[in-house]
Amino acid sequence: MTAAGTRDKGLDRMPAGNPPLRWRSTVHRAELTPTLGISADESKRGFIMSIWSRLPLMAVGVSLLALAACSDEQNAAQAPQQPPVAQAPEPAPAPNRNDDALNRIGEGAGMILDGAGDLARDARQRTERLLEDAGPTLERARGYARELGVVINELTERAMREFAAGVETVERRIEESERTRQPASGDAAAVLSPSAQLRADTRAAARAGPAGVGPAYVGVWAGDAASCARIDVDPVEMMAVITPTTIRRYEAVCNFTETPLVDGSANLVAACIAEGEMEDRSISLAMPQTDRLTLDGAELVRCHLPE
């Protein structure tokens, strides 16, 4: 029997209904590949028909998703918007009592400065009125400057003119006083030199007290009774010659506005010539007794003119 005959008989014995097998020959092996009797075109048509059968279901799903999205957007659009929450205003800071106290202190200080300015302005106006007759006053001012060793310049000349005008004023007030001269009181040894040896402001200050002119501190004062006789004769450090508007001490000549005693004391705001220079000073006075004066802490006794 030939090989072909053997192959045909084998094929005849294959069960009916099975697809025929095709032989693929290679050099070393043989491989059986079933084709199942389906062509490539028929396989493609089956796949396409399967896709078409599912398209209606896919379209329905897409439609439902679109409707759900539209419903969410509509609900979001129709939902009322909540108004923004207003922030509560910050509470106002509590008033600072320290600031109020400082403001009041500042206002009080301003009033004091204003009052001091008014006082200084009044003093300048009064001085200008006193200096209207400049001729005789200027000559006396220069005379005082020579006696006191004050160098005259633009500033010191005006101060010496004010000093001379103050002395002239107290002399006039003494002459106009109707009060009977009172006898000297205090230490009998506290006697000044004779009037001819005294300067004009010393004579005027010593006469003012008994004539009742000016505050009680007006007068001639020394550190002790024995020093009274040396005033205007020899240099005396512990001394003061005070009129209602002038004060002369060992190292300075000052002008001030007449200031009354309050409860036995006063504070003088003075413009002074000291060592040829102008300076402002605050001079404190206190009178524990009629014939005793505390001047910037120094204890002085009252001096009086000889009988």
* Tokens 């059986």, located at residue: 32
The answer to whether 268 and 280 are in contact (CB under 8 A) is: no
What sign has the CA pseudo-torsion 7, 9, 15, 19? positive
In angstroms, the CA 252 to CA 277 distance is 10
Given this model, what pLDDT does residue 48 score?
53
Mean pLDDT of each 10-residue bin along the chain, 307 residues long: 42 45 40 43 54 55 53 49 53 56 58 52 53 60 74 79 90 86 77 94 94 94 97 95 95 94 96 89 95 95 93
In angstroms, the CA 29 to CA 150 distance is 148
Tokens encoding 261: 């005693």
The answer to whether 51 and 68 are in contact (CB under 8 A) is: no
In angstroms, the CA 282 to CA 268 distance is 6
Q: Break the chain into its structural domains and give their ranges.
A: 119-303
